[in-house]
Structure 1
Amino acid sequence: MSINLNRRAFLKLSGGVAGTVAVSGTWDVLTKEQIASAVTTDEGTQVIPVLCNHNCGGRCQIKAHVKDGVVVRITTDDRPDLENNPQLRACLKGRATRNRIYHPDRLKYPMKRVGKRGEGKFKRITWDEATDLIAKNLKKIVDQYGPHSVYVNYATGDEGAMAGRTSAKRLMNLMGGYLGYYGSYSSACLKYTAPFVTGYRDTNTYQTLHHSKLIILSGFNPAETVFETNSNYYLAKAKKAGAKVIVIDPRYTESAATFGDQWIPIVPATDTALFSAMAYVIITENLHDQAFLDKYTIGFDEEHMPEGVPAGNSYKSYILGTTDGKPKTPEWAAAITGIDANTIINLAREYATTKPAQLLQGLGPQRHAQGESSTRAGIVLAAMTGSIGILGGGWGGGEGGRKLGLDVGELPTGDNPVETQISVFMWTDAVVRGTEMTEKDGVQNGPLKSNLKFMWNLGSNTLVNQHADINKTIKILEDESKLEYIVVSDQFMTPSAKYADILLPSDHAFERYDFGFPWTGEEYILFGNKAVEPPGECKHDYWWMSKVAEKLGLGEKFTEGKTQEDWMKQLVEDAQKADSQFPSWEELKKKGLYRKDTIEYVAFEKEIKDPANNPFQTPSGKIEIFSKTLFDMKNDEIPGVPKYTPAAEGPEDPLKEKYPLQCFGPHIKRRTHSTWDETPWMEEAEPQTMWINPEDAQARGLQDGDKAKVYNDRGALVIPVRVTKRIRPGVVSIPQGAWYTPDDKGVCQRGCINILTSQRPTPLAHGNGQHTNLVQVKKL
């Protein structure tokens, strides 16, 4: 049966799904009668597997129903839904893709800027003119400043094997290289910090959750953010098996409503204080696994410290207050976290005595000003309870990083001759003072030989919208003597696209062949067909990049005689060599999916079962609760053991006198970062609103639905408020990803949180600390 789902039915069903899941805890929520009441059949269409290749954790199978060259409806995975191989069902965003591909505001022609940068004034030009201008300006800048001056900006609007950033990197490597980056806006602290403790970043698969007796979701909200297509299915399966779920979050999220047996509303940026107090209870009540700690860790107590470290620097000494005179008691943490001391005590006891237990750390807490410490502290708790390397245990880590996945590649980029890299969050600094930056500023293998002068911004809204402190960023971009040339490729006139010198219309995943890769290393791959033709003169980035390469005299080396489709066929052939079961090109076109049976993967299992032959990949070969590498940096913000440090613009900052509310930007189900903000159906499904507790609303004369101004020293925005007890007092949340839409005074009318956020990086990873902000709110 082909399903025809109109807007009203779509919204009805998406709301019905959420409501039913919250009550029943099962995912078989729609009866045949419910579906029949909302859909109709339609014959005579071709059903084509396509991709939803945006930067969310889900990699779902969606199918385009095409009639007369037009996508007339979207359906999802209809394979047999097996317990250990469940369907890859699309969410409401993927099912609304027609809203995007046929949106009247899609860019359709190449353009060049004719006004001041940022005004959004452009003139239509030909592709030949566009590629000529790009080639000339790129060559001029590389000749004048060298390859360090060119930057391929962080871009996740397209996550496919043929994403535009791969074409840009391939071209730049043929020209002598480019300045690279490390980390990500999403998980910089987790990626950078976890290896200091365990040697590499890894986590158990969600398929193991049903073995857990206790699951703590710490800042982890898969019901809305989708960390894997079936992460919610596996949580529901764990609940059915009897697992208790505790949610630690400033918001009563949909994950808390759906799965939570207990909600613990924490003050933002204080997770390390909570974990420290839990460690205090576990130690003082002798609930820790001393045998595990003795065998597999270093630095927990004074008896197991690296040589040459002064006494009093172990984790246990810090927790008991041996050195600083401040025991990290539940009462101490209660004053910081806003969590009652008895709640902390009970949480610690339950976590330590329930076997096995899983602490799933989300990415939100590590996007705070001291995000590295909470990541480390969570791993330490897992080690203290012997929960690492066992089925049903683990310390989580949000999106994963598991040592799984299929051996399927992307467009080859070659080797970058430039070894220097910057933290992805520090690119604005590299524009202003690149040659002055050092290792303390997040530069690796430096120094930079030039400030940034040329920017490839392909499928990216981080140029403006998703980067912190928008007002500071746009002042940098408006100065054409700094970043001299910006090439943007996108589907819409995003806030970032307005700052382009050359603006190019990109095709959509439905309009080309590509692969879709799951975030978490699950062993499947999605294949997307070219289902329809792109509108206007929209082209894939590889196509026009090959024209630029040709004009630079590198056309043959860049393409090797291959079209974009040819490269995809080459990737399939390479995958078949690595895996004899990998499907042929024609099979992939028909099925759109290659999947191996799901497995229960346990991170660090081999290190725990056979440490002699599989030591942890750390200097000591053990889990480093104390890191001598970090200790030797002699930085108070990067101690040898994870310590709670009050954050700038956190709950203890004196700035609270002026700006009394903490503000952070959660991910929500209607957007993938900033993608889908332009889509009408998504706005109807979930409007952009700020959550505020009734106590804080009453003090400001605010009622539900009122518009409020939210501001600090960096900027201001206007947004409707949702007055709700689902957020703790003293905290407001503004969903990240809304498109920056300033009035003539620079006040954002759409509610883009990054008008308020800081470019202050985290101390070790130099990552994104955009969740730590102080603001004031007043009624308009």
Structure 2
Amino acid sequence: MSLLDRSIKRRDFLHLSAGAAAAAALAHAAGAGTAHAAEAGANGGAAPHDAVAHDDEVVDGKGEWMPIHCHQNCNQMCLNMGYVVDGVVVRQKTDDSHADSFDCPQQRGCLRGRSLRQQVYNADRIKYPMKRKSWQPGGGENAHGELRGKDEWERISWDEALTYVVDELKRVYEEYGEKGVICNAWRWAPGSAMFPVIGGAIYDSEVESFGTWAFQTEALGMYSWGDHPDIMMAPDKYDLPNADTIVLYGCNPAWCHYSSMYWLHNAKKSGTQFVYVGPNYNESASSLDARWIRVRPGTDTAFLLAVIYEMIRLDEERGNVIDWDFVNERTVGFTPETMPADAKLDENFRDYVLGAYDDTPKTPEWAAEICGTPVEDITWYAELAGKENKVVFLHSYASSRYLGAENLPQAFMTVSALGGHYGKSGHGSAAIYTWDAGDSGYRLIQHAGGDYGYIDNLVGSPAVTGPGKNIEGPAWWRCMLDGRYITTSDGPFDLGSSDAVNDPTKLRANTPTYHEAQEMEVNPRLLIATNSNFMQTRGDLNTAIKVMRQADTCVSFEIKLSLTAQFADIILPVITHWEGNDDESWGELAWPSPFGDGNGQKQRKDALLAWRPLIKPLYEARDEKQVFREIIERMGANPDDAYPKSNYDQWLGYFLGMRELAPDLSKWEPVITWTDEDNEKYHASYPTQEGKVAFDQFMADGCYVCTRSADDARNYVGYRDDKLGIGEDGESVVVADTAWPRPSVSGKLEIYCQFKADNVNRTGLADEPLKPYANYFVPRRGYQETFANWETKEKGKFPLQAFTPHYMRRAHSCYDNMAWTQEAFRNPVFMNAADAAERGIEAGDTVMCFNDFGKMLRIAQPLQSMMPGTVAIPHGVHSVFDESDPEDIIDRGGSEQMLSDHQLSNYFPHLNGYNSLLIEVKKYDGEPLCEDFERAPFFAAGVDDAAAPAYLADPAAMYAASNEN
């Protein structure tokens, strides 16, 4: 519908939508109560859920633009604005608050954020508390767990819902203790802070996004921002054009962190060449005309070892390939002369690569058989990595989300170090990820803390969750099914003593430290899901179904009917970040939890984004934190112990505490001007301050962006500049630590790292000890296992390697219920064109992807840009189960989690090998799939709405009714 199309009025649209929603509810109440029934039919009589409101109000200026903080999982923190008329967001736009320029860029949103209205006003919003019809409290047969995922629902009141939850918590704690309560969510989620206050829980300690980069990053001498490894150390946007070549290793920023493409294309315009390394030639590589270095899934360590072999060979033949000054001064362990003082093995990395210890030189010919990279490409890459070339090596974490990738980060660092690509303009080696993508370096806007502190006492710290309370890695569901789990640490970031380190305090608290593996008991009677969707995003889905169905009680805090909610007994509706209420006359005060995961520092490097509630809470949705506070009170505890600050105080203190680094690096200056009048207006008592922009103006603009230039002293090259921080007074500039020494035991980059080896070997889980350097070992579920006989190259039962790329239309499972993005980005399975032809598969065919763990259906899209033997399954879809045969479930939604199990990595138990899937694909001979945007939206089916107020289906009418009351 065009901006000036006046053919339909907004209220007519809303009433039409309301009528359609009511019709859909009645249809479900009549018996279409199973969630997988949504697979049938085009829309079930519902109005198209991609319809939009009319533009008259925008054209006539009847409302106002308000800022939206878009921060669901991709962490790009882009700016969106919502046009609000009578309490309804009728339009969205992105940043136009100032003229766009390279020095002061607009903070533009992507198609996901700009479609958020379809998430907020979606047919699958959870409108009110619901109970699964067949479930009754008390456990045992009362639960009727066999019906989870396919039962109908009944509407209940908030008081009934919370009574059920609290009574079940008390019962389970009394009968089973804390081992019976499962926090089916991230430890850092706001709701997770409740459990230590009311009696404890068992948590998860996986490294979801970061793979093995979370393993030993700082122990190797690199840098982590909190738990974000190898980040903020790449060159910034002004230095990228100084590189001759930029390598994108296993990443696709055009899909994952699309704003970074602006900085990368700017470098390309300046003459910088690009190289892409990975199993498929993706959108970023194509956009940047990158040279493709083919590497099979999970074989990166073998590839990099061969690159290092060639660097050694080429340097011996002609010199000027290895930067020996850098190696000798800034690294340890490459040669006998550079071994660290704590080394226990008489082995150095150079001699290992040359085959001195295993009689296997890591030649290109050796690697090519494993990784599929042409020998000449390996040699070319080694030439590129040489000291005389200005190269920036940028990686994401996809290549480390394979089983057996423990040594990949160390090998990646070693290639960069041998060429001396640290601390110099036009050189670099670090992650390209989230807010840091493409414009790296220390934040020019940081939070001062102190009086402005805003982060709740969350349980990200293992000291809070306590020892032995974390199930590690991919065994999450299997351990709960078996009732036992192995723990190797008190938490993934707990620093303890080490026999390899005389002074362990030299290592930062971000360095994981492990102990001997211990077996612990777990008895999952009550599972509470909050701020997560583990059934849809966690591997071993078949086991997850069994765990959820054998529990006594499953509770889910939800915005929409996620897969986790579908398997719950009690669903509690929570507000989105658009919704809140600061008007006591309207009813219960509500303010959305400010940052989703409690980490307000996830803003961009040089921009502060505004946001505030746009609309009052829809239906009966409540703020999640307020619900947890009430549960704590009903349990007889003090909610302030979990949540010492209100959401409102956090929100306001977040903005007022922000400081911009002065262009001359002399001080940190307030961003926001705050006056006595502001304190009175906003019912606050914060200190007044003179900043860059008045608070009300900042909210109207939607953002504040630093103005920079090519000669700005704040511009950055990693490992050269000091990393700056905020002094204890909240104002002064201090040096957090200089680029050197590094945060490792030696203070250098550790090509040989004794701490790494001792730390992991102490667990006693592996058959063979891990080496202190990046040695090669055969990974579990890797390329070799696609063969029945590796020596004769006889292919096995599951000859294809599948990996699970993040997809432009969603961030994990966030955004995935929006029809606009569903239509723009279908839910395919990508495979090599020759592999497809061999199987008689053509584009558009419904195919079954299967292995010994499960089966799922998707629509095939053969491509020439996939390596033979590889399959890409975009991650995060909502399952639609065909359970006609309970022993042989087929997922018609196409979740890749059906194809994995609880297999642990070779050495690092926290790693979930999302990309280590061995499968077969065949053309499906049953009913073909329709596209998911052609299905009816996932709706909380089976709820009788006959007694519900009519305005529940119409947000505008709801606000009108509330004003009349």
What are the within-5 Å matches in structure 2 for residues 617-766 of structure 1? 617-632=743-758, 633-634=760-761, 635=766, 636=768, 638-653=770-785, 654=787, 656-744=795-883, 745=885, 746-762=889-905, 763-764=907-908, 766=910
Cα deviations by residue, 1:234-254 (Å, 9 ceiling, x for unpaired):
101111121110011211111
- Counterpart AA for 2:812: H
How many residues are matched?
734
Higher mean C-alpha deviation, range 608-617 or range 44-53: 608-617
Cα deviations by residue, 1:273-330 (Å, 9 ceiling, x for unpaired):
1111111111111111111111111111122223575666211112111111111111
Report deviation, 1:182: 4.1
- Asked if residue 216 in structure 1 is aligned to residue 247 in structure 2, the reply is yes
The answer on whether the counterparts of 2:105 and 2:705 sit within 8 Å (CA) in structure 1 is no
Paired position in structure 2 for 1:771: 915
Where does structure 1 lack aligned partners over 5 or more consecutive residues? 7-38, 157-162
- Counterpart AA for 1:193: Q
The answer on whether the counterparts of 2:829 and 2:872 sit within 8 Å (CA) in structure 1 is yes
**Aligned equivalents of 1:414 and 1:94: distance in 2?**
27
The partner residue of 2:418 within 376, 384, 387 is: 384
**Aligned equivalents of 2:399 and 2:670: distance in 1?**
42
Q: From the CA coordinates, give the structure whose radius of gyration is larger.
A: 2
The answer on whether the counterparts of 1:177 and 1:417 sit within 8 Å (CA) in structure 2 is no
- Asked if residue 489 in structure 1 is aligned to residue 536 in structure 2, the reply is no
The answer on whether the counterparts of 1:105 and 1:492 sit within 8 Å (CA) in structure 2 is yes
Distance 1:573 1:396, change over 3 A: closer
Report deviation, 1:399: 1.9
What are the within-5 Å matches in structure 2 for residues 269-418 of structure 1? 269-286=298-315, 287-307=321-341, 309=343, 313-399=347-433, 403-404=442-443, 406-407=446-447, 410-413=454-457, 417-418=464-465
The answer on whether the counterparts of 1:110 and 1:130 sit within 8 Å (CA) in structure 2 is yes
What are the within-5 Å matches in structure 2 for residues 432-451 of structure 1? 432=481, 436-439=485-488, 450-451=522-523
What are the within-5 Å matches in structure 2 for residues 146-161 of structure 1? 146-147=177-178, 149-155=180-186
The partner residue of 1:142 within 156, 168, 173 is: 173
The answer on whether the counterparts of 1:170 and 1:413 sit within 8 Å (CA) in structure 2 is yes
The partner residue of 1:478 within 509, 526, 549 is: 549
Paired position in structure 2 for 1:13: none
Distance 1:418 1:692, change over 3 A: closer
Distance 1:391 1:143, change over 3 A: farther
Distance 1:4 1:758, change over 3 A: farther
**Aligned equivalents of 2:150 and 2:121: distance in 1?**
26
**Aligned equivalents of 2:107 and 2:909: distance in 1?**
34
Distance 1:3 1:293, change over 3 A: farther
**Aligned equivalents of 1:185 and 1:666: distance in 2?**
13
Distance 1:676 1:316, change over 3 A: same
Distance 1:427 1:559, change over 3 A: closer
**Aligned equivalents of 1:441 and 1:696: distance in 2?**
46
Paired position in structure 2 for 1:242: 271
The answer on whether the counterparts of 1:455 and 1:486 sit within 8 Å (CA) in structure 2 is yes
- Counterpart AA for 1:465: Q
The partner residue of 1:534 within 604, 614, 617 is: 617
- Counterpart AA for 1:104: A
Distance 1:475 1:206, change over 3 A: farther
Cα deviations by residue, 1:56-100 (Å, 9 ceiling, x for unpaired):
142100000112221111100112212122111111111111211
Distance 1:196 1:576, change over 3 A: closer
Paired position in structure 1 for 2:701: 591
Report deviation, 1:442: 8.0
TM-score by length of 2: 0.71
- Counterpart AA for 1:43: D
Paired position in structure 2 for 1:263: 292
Higher mean C-alpha deviation, range 607-616 or range 403-412: 607-616
- Asked if residue 88 in structure 1 is aligned to residue 107 in structure 2, the reply is yes
Paired position in structure 1 for 2:219: 196
- Counterpart AA for 1:768: N
Secondary structure of 1:406's counterpart equals strand
| Cα RMSD after superposing both structures | 3.2
**Aligned equivalents of 1:582 and 1:324: distance in 2?**
62
Paired position in structure 2 for 1:101: 120
Distance 1:355 1:537, change over 3 A: same
The answer on whether the counterparts of 1:193 and 1:765 sit within 8 Å (CA) in structure 2 is no
Report deviation, 1:43: 2.7
The partner residue of 2:133 within 95, 104, 114 is: 114
**Aligned equivalents of 1:262 and 1:5: distance in 2?**
46
Paired position in structure 1 for 2:498: none
The answer on whether the counterparts of 1:196 and 1:627 sit within 8 Å (CA) in structure 2 is yes
- Counterpart AA for 1:652: Q
Higher mean C-alpha deviation, range 578-587 or range 291-300: 578-587
- Counterpart AA for 2:71: N
**Aligned equivalents of 2:217 and 2:577: distance in 1?**
34
Cα deviations by residue, 1:507-550 (Å, 9 ceiling, x for unpaired):
11111356565758624332322111232111110222222122
Secondary structure of 1:328's counterpart equals coil
**Aligned equivalents of 1:690 and 1:465: distance in 2?**
17
Secondary structure of 2:429's counterpart equals coil
The answer on whether the counterparts of 2:457 and 2:642 sit within 8 Å (CA) in structure 1 is no
- Asked if residue 456 in structure 1 is aligned to residue 531 in structure 2, the reply is no
What are the within-5 Å matches in structure 2 for residues 528-567 of structure 1? 528-554=611-637, 557=640, 564-567=647-650
Cα deviations by residue, 1:205-237 (Å, 9 ceiling, x for unpaired):
5423222221111111101111xx631111011
The answer on whether the counterparts of 1:185 and 1:425 sit within 8 Å (CA) in structure 2 is no
- Counterpart AA for 1:412: D
**Aligned equivalents of 2:177 and 2:419: distance in 1?**
52
Paired position in structure 1 for 2:715: 600
Distance 1:442 1:418, change over 3 A: closer
**Aligned equivalents of 2:120 and 2:384: distance in 1?**
49
Paired position in structure 1 for 2:35: none
Paired position in structure 2 for 1:580: 670
Secondary structure of 2:830's counterpart equals strand
Taking every aligned residue pair, what percent have the same amino acid on both sides? 27
- Counterpart AA for 1:629: F
The answer on whether the counterparts of 2:556 and 2:568 sit within 8 Å (CA) in structure 1 is yes
Distance 1:457 1:597, change over 3 A: farther
The answer on whether the counterparts of 2:579 and 2:618 sit within 8 Å (CA) in structure 1 is no
Paired position in structure 1 for 2:10: none
The answer on whether the counterparts of 1:209 and 1:235 sit within 8 Å (CA) in structure 2 is yes
The partner residue of 2:198 within 171, 175, 197 is: 175
Higher mean C-alpha deviation, range 208-217 or range 725-734: 208-217
TM-score by length of 1: 0.87
**Aligned equivalents of 1:192 and 1:328: distance in 2?**
24
Secondary structure of 1:185's counterpart equals coil
Distance 1:307 1:69, change over 3 A: closer
- Counterpart AA for 2:148: R
Paired position in structure 2 for 1:65: 83
More helix by share: 1
Report deviation, 1:170: 3.4
**Aligned equivalents of 1:155 and 1:4: distance in 2?**
45
**Aligned equivalents of 2:870 and 2:148: distance in 1?**
36
